[in-house]
Amino acid sequence: MRNSAGRVVVITGAAQGLGRAYAMRFAKEGHRVVVLDLQTQALERVATEVRALGATCLPLTVDVSDVSSVEKAAAAIEQEFGRCDVLVNNAAIFSTITMRPFEQIPVDEWVRVLNVNITGTFLMTRALVPLMRRHKWGRVINVSSAAFLMGRPNYLHYTTSKAAVVGMTRSLARELGPDGITVNALLPGATDTEVPRETVTPEQKRQQIAMRCIQREEGPQDLEGVVSFLASDDSAFVTGQSLVVDGGYCFV
Ligand SMILES: NC(=O)c1ccc[n+]([C@@H]2O[C@H](COP(=O)([O-])OP(=O)(O)OC[C@H]3O[C@@H](n4cnc5c(N)ncnc54)[C@H](O)[C@@H]3O)[C@@H](O)[C@H]2O)c1
The domain spans of the chain are: 8-245
Atom of ligand 1 nearest to the CA of 91: 24
Please give the distance, rounded to the nearest whole angstrom, from the Cα atom of residue 178 to the centre of ligand 1: 30
By the 8 A CB rule, do 64 and 123 touch? yes
Angle between helices 17-28 and 40-52 (to 10 degrees): 30
Please give the distance, rounded to the nearest whole angstrom, from the Cα atom of residue 92 to the centre of ligand 1: 4
- Tell me, what's the pLDDT at 47? 98
Instruction: Please list the pLDDT of the chain residue by residue as tens digits (252 residues).
Output: 566 789 999 999 999 999 999 999 999 999 999 999 999 999 999 999 999 999 999 999 999 999 999 999 999 999 999 999 999 999 999 999 999 999 999 999 999 999 999 999 999 999 999 999 999 999 999 999 999 999 999 999 999 999 999 999 999 999 999 999 999 999 999 999 999 998 889 999 999 999 999 999 999 999 999 999 999 999 999 999 999 999 999 999
Active-site amino acid positions: 158
Probe target for ligand 1 pocket from 16, 44, 94, with the most ligand atoms within 8 Å of CB: 94
Angle between helices 67-81 and 120-133 (to 10 degrees): 30
- Tell me, what's the pLDDT at 3? 63
CA distance linking residue 229 with residue 1, whole number of Å: 7
Ligand 1 within 6 A of CB of 188: yes
Quote the longest CA-to-CA distance of the chain. Answer: 49
- Tell me, what's the pLDDT at 192? 95
CA-closest residue to ligand 1 atom 32: 63
- Tell me, what's the pLDDT at 1? 58
- Tell me, what's the pLDDT at 4? 76
**Fold designation for 8-245:** Rossmann fold (3.40.50)
Please give the distance, rounded to the nearest whole angstrom, from the Cα atom of residue 7 to the centre of ligand 1: 23
The closest of 212, 215, 217 to 244, measured between CA atoms, is 212
- Tell me, what's the pLDDT at 135? 96
CA distance linking residue 81 with residue 185, whole number of Å: 26
- Tell me, what's the pLDDT at 193? 96
Which residues are 141's β-sheet partners?
88, 184
Please give the distance, rounded to the nearest whole angstrom, from the Cα atom of residue 64 to the centre of ligand 1: 12
- Tell me, what's the pLDDT at 8? 98
* Total-model pTM: 0.98
CA-closest residue to ligand 1 atom 19: 95
- Tell me, what's the pLDDT at 166? 98
